[in-house]
């Protein structure tokens, strides 16, 4: 049985939710992954009536809901807060901008997001954790082990109470492993799990686009964390085999600049081996949605979203019910 194909609405939050629903259906999607920004899903308004209305709106357009995503607020839970965060956070989370106050309000909002998910009848909230040590990535001036330890201790201190509430509600948090987060590759994902004492409510929103250009083995990630893959994004990236003016760090160049070594690409148009990803998802028995997070700086998004839906439908296939050569034994 083919997995449902959904569209993440984060890159479409400039559109009203009803317009987004109409477009997603016209593109051919089975459902949408609601972003908790714009008017797509507003956590501060998400009482029983609001959640019921959102489900009814999706049903009206023939769409299903499997997850919601609160990346922007989640980012503020562990981050070193500065003026960048004001532009992505709701005013009631930003408040007076005092960093610790922002982090505390963000943590409470993530718990409220889990409560909203419960009202919606879904099991997964996707998002970011932020990181107090991302700025220490390049080890000069020298970075001590104790400084890195402190970052993972901060993750545990701030996220364990959040995850405890998720567990009580029967909701799982799926971190999108991503540069700027506490976990951005296999090694740091393992360390994050260890820091959180392998909390049952903590797992991953698998997005291969953040791994390939880092030279991280994105297929091994699926096998290594097979029991922690709570959600999957279908998102592509392209990276050059030739030297470029700006390498893996991007050179402070905007996405779409041809001088970059890597960039995001519409699914199927980059360098990600999606064939092997589907085979790995079959082997680990992932049954959830394949959610297109569409980003391509060189393509019209409506063209891209429709094409991506068709690509994913052609890509996905069910695992075999038995060995291909069983018939020879009959």
Give the architecture-level CATH label for domain 5-329: Alpha-Beta Barrel (3.20)
- Main-chain dihedrals φ then ψ at residue 293, nearest 5 degrees: -105, 100
List, in order, residues 6 or more apart from 256 with CB less than 8 Å away. 263, 297, 298
- Per-residue confidence (pLDDT) for residue 320, from 0 to 100: 83
- Per-residue confidence (pLDDT) for residue 273, from 0 to 100: 98
pLDDT in tens, 266-321: 999 999 999 999 999 999 999 999 999 999 999 999 999 999 999 999 999 988 87
Mean per-residue pLDDT of the chain? 96
What pTM was estimated for this model as a whole?
0.96
List, in order, residues 6 or more apart from 247 with CB less than 8 Å away. 261
Of the pLDDT bands very low, low, confident and very high (cuts 50, 70, 90), residue 65 is very high
List beta partners, residue 175: 127, 204
Residue 189 predicted with pLDDT over 90: yes
Pairwise CA distance, residues 54 & 40, whole Å: 9
Q: Name the helix (H) or strand (E) containing 99.
A: helix 99-120
Asked whether the beta carbons of 56 and 18 are under 8 A apart, the reply is: no
Of the pLDDT bands very low, low, confident and very high (cuts 50, 70, 90), residue 190 is very high
């Amino acid at each position: 049985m083919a997995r449902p194909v959904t569209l993440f609405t984060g890159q479409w939050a400039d559109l009203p939710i009803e317009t987004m629903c109409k477009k997603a259906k016209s593109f051919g999607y089975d459902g949408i992954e609601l972003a908790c920004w714009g008017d797509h899903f507003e956590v501060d308004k998400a009482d029983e009536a609001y959640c019921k209305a959102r489900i009814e709106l999706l049903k009206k357009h023939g769409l299903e809901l499997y997850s919601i995503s609160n990346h922007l607020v989640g980012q503020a839970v562990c981050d070193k807060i500065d003026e960048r965060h004001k532009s992505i956070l709701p005013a009631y989370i930003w408040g007076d901008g005092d960093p610790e106050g922002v982090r505390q309000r963000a943590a409470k909002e993530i718990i409220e997001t889990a409560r909203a998910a419960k009202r919606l009848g879904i099991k997964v909230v996707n998002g970011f954790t932020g990181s107090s040590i991302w700025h220490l990535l390049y080890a000069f001036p020298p970075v001590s082990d104790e400084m890195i330890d402190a970052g993972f201790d901060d993750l545990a201190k701030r996220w364990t109470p959040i995850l405890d509430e998720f567990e009580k509600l029967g909701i799982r948090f799926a971190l999108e492993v991503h540069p700027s987060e506490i976990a951005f590759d296999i090694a740091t994902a393992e360390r994050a799990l260890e820091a959180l004492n392998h909390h049952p409510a903590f797992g991953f929103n698998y997005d291969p686009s953040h791994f390939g250009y880092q030279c991280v083995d994105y297929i091994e990630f699926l096998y290594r964390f097979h029991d922690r893959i709570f959600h999957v994004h279908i998102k592509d990236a392209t990276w050059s085999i030739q030297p470029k003016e700006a390498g893996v760090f991007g050179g402070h160049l905007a996405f779409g600049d041809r001088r970059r070594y890597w960039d995001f690409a519409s699914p199927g148009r980059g360098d990600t081996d999606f064939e092997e990803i589907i085979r790995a998802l079959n082997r680990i028995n992932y049954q959830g949605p394949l959610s297109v997070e569409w980003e391509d700086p060189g393509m019209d998004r409506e063209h891209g979203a429709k094409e991506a839906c068709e690509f994913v439908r052609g890509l996905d296939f069910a695992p075999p019910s038995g060995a291909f050569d069983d018939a020879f034994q009959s």
